[in-house]
Structure 1
Amino acid sequence: MKKAWILLLALTLILSLAACGGNENNIASGSNGNNGGEGSGEPEEITLRIAWWGSQPRHDYTLKVIEMYEEQNPHVKIEPEYASWDDYWKRLAPQASANELPDIIQMDLSYISQYGGRGQLADLTPYLNKEIDISDISDTVVSGGKLGDKLYGFNLGVNAIGFHYDPELLKKTGVESIPEDWTWDDYYELAGKAKDAGVYMDTRMRPEVFFAYYLRTKGSTLYAADGTSLGYEDDRLFIDFFQPLTELVKEGAIPSPDYVAQVKGIEDDPVVKGNAIGIWQWSNQFVGLQSVADRPFAMQPMPGPGLKEGMFLKPSMYFSVSENSKHKEEAAKFINFFVNDVEANKLILGERGVPGSNVVKEALKPLLSEQQVQVFDYVSWVEQNSSQMDPPDPVGAAEIMTLLGDLVEQMDYEQISAEDAAAKFRKDANNILSRNK
């Protein structure tokens, strides 16, 4: 009996020491128990897929950031998937249907409600101040990716819409500069002068973005706060915005939809080729434009009246983590690297929006080019001359974007009047949004 008791004590001691040794290895490896092999102390080999849209300059530096992360985290392999804006969403939709979304997804404000509301995006709240350090990022920046009480996207930076133009080409129209307080009437007049000079004024506006801005200048919104209907009551607002733009197409001051359909990327854009004065886009796209065009451009605020009511700071885009990802923690760590690592941001240089981290912003200041300083300064100006951003687009916004784009094309080809288009847009858009009730 005594011998059995001694053997039992010895066995207990051996098991205790083994357990302690196992915990010690886990802590030292920092792998939370996900070792590559028993007793190896090596992190688990992980492959992440990441997807984004953008132009070639964005693709180039993002690939370099991925390489940097892989060098520092040799157990992680990241497979990139990237495309232009239109192709990106066409690829993402079937992946979502098959429950095969990439681990990390670049997400836009127009789609976050759709993907988040369907349970296809992970809530990032549990990873804040753990895998993702937000100690140096303001709450307003972080909360830009919230739907209700869940964080479905981490804000990669802020930006603002505006008109980016070639000052030298502008002068060929007989106009030296665009006044800061220009109006829509000024824009229409300048477009006519551009046509007379043998160039386009611009390569058109994304209708849902710039119509939403116009509505804000009139005290309305594109969507109701609850996302179940349109946010404006008077169809005259639709007519007053789109009818003059349709006239510019007819006059040849801005290109037709057929012409724009042939433009496959910023490299093909008439602005880059010197055939158009400017382009309507977000501030984070300004540096990429100049990089491709290789000549100076200027930034212009939106036309008024009602500029301050219309302007807003928007999350440029988000990184979301798919709910189907098997490596959410590692995906969150990559997001943390992307937004907080100073060396990584020396490659990014605010191209996806002015960074939220104050440490990153301070570190970048001495490195910014003249064009990047223009972006940072423009965003600072908008911060002082803007209003609170509208809530994220509701579920169904993607369908409404397609609907609006189709109606604009029909107006441009005189297949439907602006009045009839306004009525059809209201009817069909409200039908789509009524599903959210």
Structure 2
Amino acid sequence: MKKWIMLIMAFTLVFTLAACGTNNNGGILTNNSGGAGTAEGTNSGGDNTGGEKEAVTLRMAWWGGQPRNDYTLEVIKMYEEKNPHVTIEPEYANWDDYWKKLAPQAAANELPDIIQMDLGYITQYGTKNQLADLTPFLNNGIDVSNIADTVVNGGKLGDKLYGFNAGVNALQIHYDPEMLKKIGMDSIPDDWTWDDYKELAKKAGDAGIFFDTGQKPEVFFSYYLRQNGQKLYSADGTQLGYDNDQLFIDYFGMTQQAVLDGGSPTPDFSAQIKGIEDDPVVKEQGISVWQWSNQFIGLQQVANRPLEMHPLPGPNVKEGMFLKPSMFWSVSENSNNKEEAVKFIDFFINDIEANKLIKGERGVPVSSVVKEALKPLLTPEQVKVFDFITWAEENSTQMDPPDPIGAAEVMNLFKTYDEQMKFNKITPEEAAKKFREEANAVLAKNKQ
């Protein structure tokens, strides 16, 4: 009798252990993330609990071109393999369509769990209680032991962290040396100025090509203001930060003339550029693209020919230049899975194997460990980006605070008057006056 009891207990124990080791599909669980992990002994993002976890679905949104979309999907797949209880649903679009889609989602309290966020929008979304404060998750979900405080604090508004820095960025131009030769130049001078820019744009127009494919006014006018000791917004965000409209007139007079000379595209032409694949530089119709340093890699991949990078025009380049968070990762305040969303952000930031796929495309990595691990693996193009950031660290000044609430409306005003000037429907003098009146009216809403 005792033998039968012992046999029954043994079989019960076997079946109990087997049941504890099955997954949702009835198979035997293996420790998918408890093996070699990532390089340098880092095992970021893996589920090492050994137990079964409740299934979680996260929505994740980002903007970008096809190269970014491709590797991001690979990173997601890698994370899901390490964390089989997590499914990540991707939502991506180009820059303009991304924000058009995000706005109604925010209004309906249906933002994705993980959101790629821009410096120009983080105040708007953060102060409206649409983004979660990530401060409680620092070293409690997101490992910041190898990340400088100044980098972490880039997404702070007051005492709350609404976005985690995805990478470090700086402004520059990317150009095709072979296209530059068509206007009689082998390279852009190290000490070039805005007067040189005007001359080059005229030469390009005369040659039937574009010198640049357009400058986002809220980005490059801000750089121009910084060169002249001014800022786009006041410290309290209730009005414009510059009081001399001649700066507006001078800058937009240059970009307007570049279009009139044929050295920069008209707004209707630019409207047809839906992604990096359509850029005139890629199609060998233009010489340069003015954008952020991280975008060089994607442009190089799509163009598939040698390209170069160069600092923006002077004088006072150091005063104009600044290191910027390329973008942020934010978590929706309405997410029911904040902890899981934060774990993925940590994986994206700190996992070395994931960053071998990312390769600094979203900005130079913020983790010193990741940065060192990637150096031997970089392509010549990626080395250029890393080296430029090193140069920019020594040739830049403190970044301006995050844009105030209403900045998105100000950007739309920029776009409206920039287009009107480029169609020659309004003078820079008239646009400067109207822009100031309307922008200040928008920003005045921030007064307490």
Q: TM-score, normalised by structure 2?
A: 0.88
Q: Give the match for residue 127 of structure 1.
A: 137
C-alpha deviation, 1:176, in angstroms: 1.5
Q: Deviations over 1:121-170 (max 9, x none)?
A: 00000000010000000001100000000000000011101110001110
Amino acid at match of 2:204: A
Q: Deviations over 1:302-343 (max 9, x none)?
A: 101110000000000000000000000000000000000000
Q: Distance in 1 between matches of 2:203 and 2:412?
A: 31
| Residue 166 (structure 2) pairs with residue 156 (structure 1) | yes
Amino acid at match of 1:164: H
Q: Distance in 2 between matches of 1:373 and 1:342?
A: 17
| Residue 354 (structure 2) pairs with residue 344 (structure 1) | yes
Amino acid at match of 2:393: E
Q: Distance in 1 between matches of 2:161 and 2:342?
A: 12
Q: Give the match for residue 22 of structure 1.
A: none
Amino acid at match of 2:292: W
Q: Distance in 2 between matches of 1:169 and 1:411?
A: 27
Q: Give the match for residue 417 of structure 2.
A: 407
| Residue 160 (structure 2) pairs with residue 146 (structure 1) | no
Q: Give the match for residue 248 of structure 1.
A: 258
Equivalences for residues 294-305 of structure 1 within 5 A: 294-305=304-315
Q: Distance in 2 between matches of 1:248 and 1:349?
A: 35
| Residue 278 (structure 2) pairs with residue 272 (structure 1) | no
Equivalences for residues 47-126 of structure 1 within 5 A: 47-126=57-136
Q: Give the match for residue 355 of structure 1.
A: 365
Q: Give the match for residue 392 of structure 1.
A: 402
Q: Deviations over 1:16-65 (max 9, x none)?
A: xxxxxxxxxxxxx9xxxxxxxxxx95211100000000000000000000
| Residue 182 (structure 2) pairs with residue 172 (structure 1) | yes
Q: Give the match for residue 192 of structure 1.
A: 202
Q: Give the match for residue 3 of structure 2.
A: none
Judge conservation of contact 2:112–2:335 (CA < 8 Å) in 1: yes
C-alpha deviation, 1:193, in angstroms: 1.4
Amino acid at match of 2:57: T
Q: Distance in 2 between matches of 1:187 and 1:47?
A: 50
| Residue 372 (structure 2) pairs with residue 327 (structure 1) | no
C-alpha deviation, 1:91, in angstroms: 0.4
Percent identity (aligned): 68
C-alpha deviation, 1:241, in angstroms: 0.4
Q: Give the match for residue 231 of structure 2.
A: 221
Q: Give the match for residue 7 of structure 1.
A: none
Q: Deviations over 1:71-114 (max 9, x none)?
A: 00000000000000000000000000000000000000000000
Q: Distance in 2 between matches of 1:124 and 1:150?
A: 7
Q: Give the match for residue 4 of structure 2.
A: none
Q: Give the match for residue 10 of structure 2.
A: none
Q: Give the match for residue 35 of structure 2.
A: none
Judge conservation of contact 2:206–2:261 (CA < 8 Å) in 1: no
Q: Distance in 1 between matches of 2:208 and 2:305?
A: 20
Q: Distance in 2 between matches of 1:52 and 1:297?
A: 26
Amino acid at match of 2:149: D
Q: Distance in 2 between matches of 1:253 and 1:172?
A: 13
Q: Distance in 2 between matches of 1:41 and 1:264?
A: 46
Q: Distance in 2 between matches of 1:199 and 1:69?
A: 44
Runs of 4+ more than 3 Å apart? none
- Tell me, what secondary structure is at the counterpart of 1:50? strand
- Tell me, what secondary structure is at the counterpart of 2:397? coil
| Residue 437 (structure 2) pairs with residue 427 (structure 1) | yes
Judge conservation of contact 2:206–2:262 (CA < 8 Å) in 1: no
C-alpha deviation, 1:177, in angstroms: 1.1
Q: Distance in 2 between matches of 1:406 and 1:188?
A: 23
Amino acid at match of 1:399: E
Q: Which of 374, 385, 396 is the equivalent residue of 2:384?
A: 374
C-alpha deviation, 1:198, in angstroms: 2.0
- Tell me, what secondary structure is at the counterpart of 1:164? strand
Q: Distance in 1 between matches of 2:156 and 2:366?
A: 16
Greater mean alpha carbon deviation, residues 274-283 or residues 167-176: 167-176
Judge conservation of contact 2:172–2:290 (CA < 8 Å) in 1: yes
Q: Distance in 1 between matches of 2:198 and 2:91?
A: 40
Q: Which of 323, 327, 332 is the equivalent residue of 1:317?
A: 327
Amino acid at match of 2:443: L
Q: Distance in 2 between matches of 1:358 and 1:212?
A: 30
Q: Distance in 1 between matches of 2:137 and 2:242?
A: 38
For the aligned residues, what is the CA RMSD? 1.0
Q: Distance in 2 between matches of 1:276 and 1:435?
A: 41
Which ranges in structure 2 are unaligned for 5 or more consecutive residues?
Answer: 1-30, 32-49
Amino acid at match of 1:169: M
- Tell me, what secondary structure is at the counterpart of 2:120? helix
Q: Distance in 1 between matches of 2:51 and 2:323?
A: 46
